[in-house]
Amino acid sequence: MRRRLRDMERLAARRDQRAYIGKDYEFHVAIWELSAQPLLTEVLKRVSTPVFVFEAIVEERYLNADYDCEADARAHRILVDYLEGKTDKDAQACLQPVLDVALHAEKPIVLDHRIAPESEAIILTAGARRDRPDLPGRLIEPTTSGCV
């Protein structure tokens, strides 16, 4: 899992959105397969595959919005920590940072909503946001507090 995470982080740093989405999907499938529950894995694949395919279709929106793939990849670190027994947090608390990124940063991109000024600050990369103090809102980055 750690290798898969490093692959995601490498692709995120290169801003290879299409390849990143593929590796993100593979990362989640690998976690589901660890459950040793074939039916659960199959259901999760069937529910999630269309989401990842759609993200690949609208990849240009991510690029145009300067979506922070590196922050997205970092949000996955706690999942690996959980699987390796390196955190006292439960599964829900470890998954929440990934869900938060999806809710706050990806939803407006995927749904092609006109972004409100507050949401715009979340989508910009941390570096871009710091370079644009004139933008309204605040910088929000995924947290890994409590992780080893």
As a whole number, the mean pLDDT across the chain is 81
Q: Which long-range contacts (CB under 8 A, 24 or more apart) does 97-100 make?
A: 97/142, 97/143, 97/144, 98/72, 100/75, 100/142
Rounded to two decimals, what is the model's pTM? 0.71
109 vs 26, more confident: 26
User: In whole angstroms, what separates CA 102 from the centre of its chain?
Assistant: 6
- 55-113 pLDDT, tens digit per residue, is 899 888 888 888 889 999 999 999 999 999 999 999 999 999 888 887 787 778 877 76
pLDDT band of 31, cuts 50, 70, 90: very high
CA distance 99 to 81: 16
Report the pLDDT averaged over residues 128-144: 50
Q: From the CB of residue 112, how many other CB atoms can be counted at a distance below 10 Å?
A: 9
Among the ranges 20-24, 60-64, 94-98, 126-130, which has the highest mean pLDDT value? 20-24
Residue 66: predicted pLDDT: 84
Q: Which helix (H) or strand (E) holds 76?
A: none
Q: What is the dihedral of CA 116, 121, 122, 124, to 10 degrees?
A: 120
What angle do the packed helices 17-34 and 2-14 form, to 10 degrees? 170
CA distance 85 to 148: 10
CA distance 39 to 62: 32
pLDDT reading at 148 higher than 80: no
Spans of all domains in the chain: 2-131
Of all residues in the chain, what percent carry a pLDDT higher than 90?
51
